[in-house]
Structure formats: C-alpha cells, structure tokens
Amino acid sequence: MREIGIPELRDLARGAAVLGTGGGGDPYIGRLLAEQAIAEHGRVPLVDVADVPDDAMVLPSAMMGAPTVMIEKLPRGGEAASAVRALETRLGRPATHTVSIEAGGLNSTVPFAVAAQLGLPVVDADAMGRAFPELQMVLPTLVGIGATPMALADEKGNSVILDTIDNRWAERLARSATVEMGCTAMICLYALPGARLEEALVPGTLSLCEELGRLIASERAAHGDPVGAVTERLGGRALPGGKVVDVERRTVAGFARGEARIDGEAGVLGLSFQNEHLLARIDGEVAACTPDLIVVLDADTGEPVTTEGLRYGQRVAALAAPCDARWRTPEGLALVGPAAFGNDCAYVPVDDAAACPS
C-alpha cells in the first residue's frame, strides 16, 4: 500500500488520459476534483488487488455521459460520493474500497475524490484497461457480475437507483436518466466482492497511469521523444500523425460522436469516435480498431488529446496499442469489438503487422 497525494495525481491524470483513448472525461477537471478533496481530507491509500480481503465490498465510482458537456457543466464535487452513499443504503452494507470503472482522465481520478471524502482506500485497478463508452462494456459483464443495483446522482441533488434485468438494460435506462440530468451524472455500480476482483478487474492500471504520466513529463523535460516513449511502453505502434484538418462532432443520446481527419506526410489518418476512439483508417484502409487502444497525443509535448479536445490546426501524433487479452476472446469481441459499434470490419490485433499498413 502507498498513498496518493496531489503530486502523484498530476502524473496519474495525464497517464489515465493516454489509456482513456480519447474518452473517460477531461483529465484537468478530474484532477481538480480529486485535488480539492485530498487538500481538504488528506492523502488516499492505494492498495493492490491481492491485498483486498475476500469479504471486502468494492464500489466503483465514475462519471457517465458526454465528455463535451462536462467541460461546461462542472460538477459541484460531492455527487460521486452521494452516488456511493445511495448504493450503500440500497445494499444495506458500507463500502470498504472504491475503484475506477475505466482508465480515463476523469474516471481514473473520480475515485480519489470519493475515497478522500468517505475515508476509503482505492484499489489499483480498473474494469477495462482502457475506456469504453457504454457501461456494460466492462470485464465484470464477461464474468457474469451485474451492473445493478446502481446509483446515479447529479449536481442538483437528485439521485436514482436502478435495478435491471441485465447490463445492457442498465446502460439504456441509466443513459436515459443521465440525459435528463443534463447529459452527465455521477454513478456507482458493479458492487464487487473482494474475492472476485482478480477475474473482474485489470490489476495495476492506476500505477501504469502514473508511470505513463511521469514518462511524458520526464521525456519532455529532457527534450526527448514522449510520443515514442509512450508507444514503446505500451507495446504499440505509430499511426500517421500531422495536422488536424477536420473534426465533425455532435452530442447524441448522451455520447460525443464524430469523425476526425489528420493529414500528414505518412498519409491521411481518419478517426471515428464515440466518446473514445474506436476506429482508425489510413488512406481509407482500417489500421486499428476497438478493442485495441487508439491514442492521440500532442506532437510536441506528448500530452494526451481527448476527443472533445481535438481542434482544427492541432499538430498531433497517434498510436495504436494492444488491449487486455480478455477483450480478444470471442466473448470480449462480441461485447466491444468493431461490430458492437456498427463498424463493418474484421478485428485484426494491432500487434499483427498486417493491422497497421505503412
């Protein structure tokens, strides 16, 4: 066990935005929420999955909704803790830990705000190893753990408890409630017993986020190559970078959906996203797709660029990296592969040379 304070959060938020593949919320907003809570309540313990007792009650905490809306509709700061308290009341049992539901700039730091406010440790893990846009798209779904009962809370003081027949219905009904709450809400769901963490989570995600954030900062300070360093650390491969020449983005049914085009010497890179980058094409040919990670970084600084942060004229670099192996199983691909998002292409692992034509 170690403790996370404000200095560690800054690296963690930066690295989480890398693994968030363009989604998971704005890292700056997420960091500010956690920093405020830690400044008020103190540093937060971070514990390994192996050190969580079997009888623990681990309640994940996160934001649900369109990241584009979160930029303008800022949370008050206590909504995520309110969602946790509401689910504790429904379960009749207090949380012993919280954890990130996904790697993302905001959703990797929200649990630290909750932990500081409620006096809980955070588990060094997440339920995806990256970010996905829909709440059934997590490893707990693959092992039969239900999303509900789940709680939602907004900045106005409203809270909702859902009980659904399966995790897809949880997504549908929670998304509808989130839209009515203003297209963003804080949530608590997937109550996890300590005995099931190893099968339901990706261990070490938050430590990896912190490592990636430090790596970017140190490479930049040394006038090195932060983009190359991140690509190597993730075992990935470069995609064509260049100038952002077009971004088409819209908020639909609680998601930020759109397309981006990046022109460079190595070709034209087209990106399709739904909160997260889901498909990359080079000169029209598929080069990488979900569930593998597609990451966009500032070409000069290596800072991660979220889908809501993409702007015309930016100079960016891009890379693709392999996902957690469980997503490459038939069951995993059925849940988060290209077809799950309506893309008519076969999944080819990004670490297969044929996946990324030069």
Whether 281 shows a pLDDT value over 50: the answer reads yes
H/E element holding 280?
Answer: strand 276-282
> Of how many residues is the chain composed?
358
Do 316 and 193 have their domain in common?
no
What residue type is assigned to position 99 of the chain? V
Do 7 and 54 have their domain in common?
yes
- At residue 269, the pLDDT reads 96
Looking at the DSSP bridge assignments, the partners of residue 294 are: 320
Q: 327 versus 1: which is more confidently predicted?
A: 327
Do 165 and 262 have their domain in common?
no
Question: Which tens digits make up the pLDDT trace of 27-44?
Answer: 888 888 999 999 999 999
124 is a domain residue: yes
87 is a domain residue: yes
Do 49 and 184 have their domain in common?
yes
8 is a domain residue: yes
Query: Mean of the per-residue pLDDT values for the chain?
Result: 92
Neighbouring C-alpha atoms within 13 Å toward the C-beta of 253:
10
End residue of a domain, out of 187, 203, 219: 203
CATH number, domain at 56? 3.40.1610.10
Whether 188 shows a pLDDT value over 80: the answer reads yes
213 is a domain residue: no
Residue 291 CB contacts under 8 Å (≥ 6 apart), including other chains: 130, 132, 323, 324, 327, 328, 332, 333, 336, 337, 347
Question: Which tens digits make up the pLDDT trace of 123-169?
Answer: 999 999 999 999 999 999 999 999 999 999 999 999 999 999 999 99
Do 147 and 238 have their domain in common?
no
294 is a domain residue: yes
CATH number, domain at 257? 2.40.390
Do 110 and 254 have their domain in common?
no
- At residue 250, the pLDDT reads 83
Please tell me the total count of domains within the chain.
2
Q: Whole domain around residue 106: which residue ranges?
A: 2-203
Mean pLDDT in residue range 102-115: 92
Do 195 and 250 have their domain in common?
no
Do 235 and 190 have their domain in common?
no
222 is a domain residue: no
Do 175 and 243 have their domain in common?
no
Whether 352 shows a pLDDT value over 80: the answer reads no
pLDDT band at 356; cut points 50, 70, 90: very low
pLDDT band at 114; cut points 50, 70, 90: very high
Distance of CA 289 to the CA centre of its chain: 16
Whether 358 shows a pLDDT value over 60: the answer reads no
Whether 255 shows a pLDDT value over 80: the answer reads no
- At residue 71, the pLDDT reads 64
Closest Cα partner for 102 from 18, 214, 212?
18
Whether 247 shows a pLDDT value over 70: the answer reads yes
Do 158 and 267 have their domain in common?
no
Do 149 and 8 have their domain in common?
yes
90 is a domain residue: yes
Do 171 and 310 have their domain in common?
no
User: Nearest 5 degrees, angle CA 174-CA 84-CA 71?
Assistant: 60
Mean pLDDT in residue range 209-237: 96
Whether 97 shows a pLDDT value over 50: the answer reads yes
211 is a domain residue: no
SS3 content of the chain, % helix, strand, coil (to 5): 35, 30, 35
For residue 92, count CB atoms less than 10 angstroms from its CB and return exposed for 0-12, middle for 13-18, buried for 19 or more. exposed
How many other CB atoms are there within 10 angstroms of residue 29's CB atom?
A: 20
